[in-house]
Amino acid sequence: MTIQWFPGHMTKARRQIEEKLKLIDVVIELLDARIPLSSRNPMVDEILKGKPRLVLLNKSDLADPQVTAQWVKYFGELGLPALPIDAANGTNVKEILPRVKQLWAHKIEQQISKGMNPRAIRALIVGIPNVGKSTLTNHLAGKKIAATGDKPGVTKGQQWIKVGTEMDLLDTPGILWPKFEDQTVGMRLAATGAIKEELLHLDEIALFVVRYMVENYGTGLQERFGITELPEDMENVHEVIQVMEAIGRKRGAIVSGGKVDLDKASLIIIRELRAGKMGRISLEKP
């Protein structure tokens, strides 16, 4: 399965961002803590042209904390300060403004030295669909301004939002790239909900998830679904499907004749992964 998704509003969003960049002081790049590189738009470096940047690893409550610490170190070594957050519950959200001010401190000092009152920092928030931009924006603003949802593509336009008196935030629609050269990236994005489910073959995504879970979080999979044995050869598709069928039986995804409904089983696996019911899982490591 080749996953491609580039709605027209994303092309428009890129053009709008490029037009607004001259007004922007600092960029806030929002990534999914479970898949930081896969949820990172490779066009962003090209579009942002060297603007000071803060990386936020959102949904860190769903990610493996040890792996998240490795990602913070990874981005730090690239010269990009990174902060794990959970926008939905507000974890570490209060740390964002001080981090942004650190990135812009030299300009603030210049303004003060010239006898000026520092103006509000203009920050741009960017990220792929369904990574939590609207949820974060509402939390920063202290009220519901941006529409939120658990499906990608909720934010359709740009808007300036005041964050107290010290920061003005420009929210943007999520931008995904036209084609995933590495299909594993597409699988990770699909598994975490960055791509609309109507565009997917759920059984292929579930197959990817189960294979990864067995190889990296087998105990969590067994505990969640009451599976006693896991296959050793995860390259054998038949053995992976047997795990999916075992999950389906445990959850009553049975059709006439006693067969497992693989579509229902696949949906159960994907939904439970996204909800964090299998434990705190990172789907890629530095």
- Where are the domains positioned within the chain? 8-171, 201-274
Q: 40-99: per-residue pLDDT in tens? A: 887 787 788 789 999 999 999 999 999 999 999 999 999 999 999 999 999 999 999 999
Beta strand spans in 22-74 (E): 26-32, 53-58
- Locate tokens 């059984």: which residue? 203
Intrachain domains 8-171 and 201-274 with the same fold: no
Which CATH number is correct for 8-171, 3.40.50.300, 3.20.20.140, 3.10.28.10, 1.20.1250.20?
A: 3.40.50.300
Closest CA to 204 of 217, 188, 216, 219: 188
Report pTM. Answer: 0.87
CB 146 within 8 A of CB 122: no
Which CATH number is correct for 201-274, 3.20.20.480, 2.60.40.420, 3.30.460.10, 1.10.1580.10?
A: 1.10.1580.10
Q: 207-256: per-residue pLDDT in tens? A: 999 999 999 999 999 999 999 888 887 788 889 999 999 999 999 999 98
Per DSSP bridges, beta strands 167-171 and 159-163 are antiparallel
DSSP string, 273-284: HHTTTT-S--S-
Q: Radius of gyration of the chain from Cα atoms?
A: 21
